[in-house]
Amino acid sequence: MSIVSVVAASLYLGLLPLSHAAPIEAFATANSCTAPRGTLFLNGDVGIPGTFNTRDYIHPGADVIINGTWSTHVYSSTSRDYVRIHVTPALSAQGLWWDIAFSTQQLGTPLAVGLYTNAQRAPFADPGHPGLSVSGDGRGCNTLAGEFQIHDIVWDSVGLLKLSASFLQRCEAGTPVLRGMVAYERQ
């Protein structure tokens, strides 16, 4: 997907204001995430051959996944501090599956609206660090550095009702970046 397509998708998803001039680093700290529920947006660095600008290992390039099968797993219904969203895209060209995990277990608080910096790989985050993990098609980070922002989260007596979040992760704490957002609502 070209940078023009990435900017267009970002505007559509509500990740960037119309006046935003630098789309590449804005994803994890966007002020809002107004994408339709059931949307996963992934935008990983594609790299430049022959340079030190390397590609993201998890998802080089950009995809907006809106058709597929969605499921969630909440690891503790009482503490509400670890959520994994699983997406199986309807189009195999968008990958066979994607998992996105957000955790505040090592912070001792439930997931809530807010910005979580200094994230480490969930579920292996050290005390004092939030957990994040975006993986798919058999690719995952051994370790990572990142951040995520929960824009909207609603719980009910069954569990997670809806979640809207943006994220940024660097595998092995390297320079290639995977940015994205997820908007989920239980049917």
Mean predicted lDDT score pLDDT of the chain: 82
Could you tell me if residue 88 is inside a domain?
yes
Could you tell me if residue 129 is inside a domain?
yes
pLDDT classification of 173: cutoffs 50, 70, 90: confident
Range of the domain at 164: 23-185
| Mean pLDDT for the stretch of residues 30-57 | 75
Residue 10: which of 48, 64, 55 has the closest Cα? 64
Higher pLDDT among residues 78 and 108, named by residue = 108
Write out pLDDT tens, residues 85-113.
Answer: 999 999 999 999 999 999 999 999 999 99
The pLDDT, as a whole number, for residue 77 is 66
Instruction: Give the whole-angstrom CA distance, residue 160 versus residue 132.
Output: 17
Token pair 């007596």 is found at 157
The pLDDT, as a whole number, for residue 75 is 80
pLDDT classification of 52: cutoffs 50, 70, 90: low
Write out pLDDT tens, residues 160-169.
Answer: 999 999 999 9
The pLDDT, as a whole number, for residue 159 is 86
Token pair 């970046």 is found at 177
The pLDDT, as a whole number, for residue 57 is 84
Could you tell me if residue 7 is inside a domain?
no
Q: How far is CA 158 from CA 73, 76, 82, 85, 102, in A?
A: 11, 12, 15, 16, 19
Could you tell me if residue 4 is inside a domain?
no
Could you tell me if residue 1 is inside a domain?
no
Could you tell me if residue 2 is inside a domain?
no
Could you tell me if residue 34 is inside a domain?
yes
Number of domains in the chain: 1
Higher pLDDT among residues 148 and 34, named by residue = 148
- pTM here? 0.82
Could you tell me if residue 135 is inside a domain?
yes
